[in-house]
Amino acid sequence: MAPLQRATHAIPIVFMNVPDPVGAGFVQSMAHPGANITGFSNFEYSIGGKWAELLKQIAPNAARALVLRDTSTPGGIGQFAAVRSAAQSFGIELTPAGVRDIDEIELNVAAFARSGHGGVIVTSVGTGVIRKLIINLVDRYKLPTVYPYPYFAADGGLNAYGPNASEQVRRAAGYIDRILRGEKPADLPVQAPTKYELVVNLKTAKALGITIPQSLLVTADEVIE
């Protein structure tokens, strides 16, 4: 999103899956974007609390969590803050780790896995492109892990909670249609997701030797078997 914003102030831009578009400076406010940019944000920061809660459900013994998060964007920082405040109430001690350098991720995961009773929370910023790498890595160390989007679970992630990307694309197409018919992005409010999905991958759970509690399975929107 940032490279496009820098490249033009004239052509309308519709974004999707952007956390905190106000904090990032893409729009003036959610209700009144104000310039050539509008779109769909991916979550309220409070979802970070939900990720911590999910980790506690799939790994009740977890006392530590490695949090993969990006410190270079307001979205990444905000998501980590939300995870941290929730983790405290669950008695989980956090180890933050960056997502920019792949070698560093490998080293951090390996070091973290040396002590027991740990799990991983993967936040959304900067992780989509390297999701396969992250999934393979945490699986190698059999670490229970929570992911930020349903499509991570479709690719083998243990379980994910977040907005459905297809839904975001559909709604973005709706805005693009309205802009092509003459509406101005400045007048189209930024919208939050209407639907969050919990996806559990039982195939991965089995491979990792993790038992997913029945109480979680019944609330899942999708169970991959």
Query: Which residues of this protein are in contact with other proteins, per CB under 8 A?
Result: 1, 3-4, 6-8, 10-18, 39, 42, 100, 124, 126-130, 151, 165-166, 169-170, 172-174, 176-177, 179-180
Count of all residues that appear for the chain in the document: 225
Closest separation in Å from C-beta 142 to other proteins: 25
Q: 112 or 175, CB closer to other proteins?
A: 175
Angle between helices 47-58 and 74-89 (to 10 degrees): 50
Report in angstroms how near the CB of residue 196 gets to other proteins at its nearest: 17
Q: How far is the CB of 28 from other proteins (least distance, A)?
A: 17
Please give the full DSSP string across 183-197, using - where no structure is assigned: --GGGS--B--S-EE
- Minimum distance from CB of 125 to other proteins (Å)? 8
Nearer to other proteins, 76 or 118 (CB): 76
Classify burial at 191, counting beta carbons within 10 Å of its beta carbon; exposed 0-12, middle 13-18, buried 19 or more.
Answer: middle
82 touches 49 (CB < 8 A): yes
118 or 163: CB nearest other proteins: 163
Would you say 7 or 218 has its CB closer to other proteins? 7
Structural element, H or E, at residue 40: strand 37-41
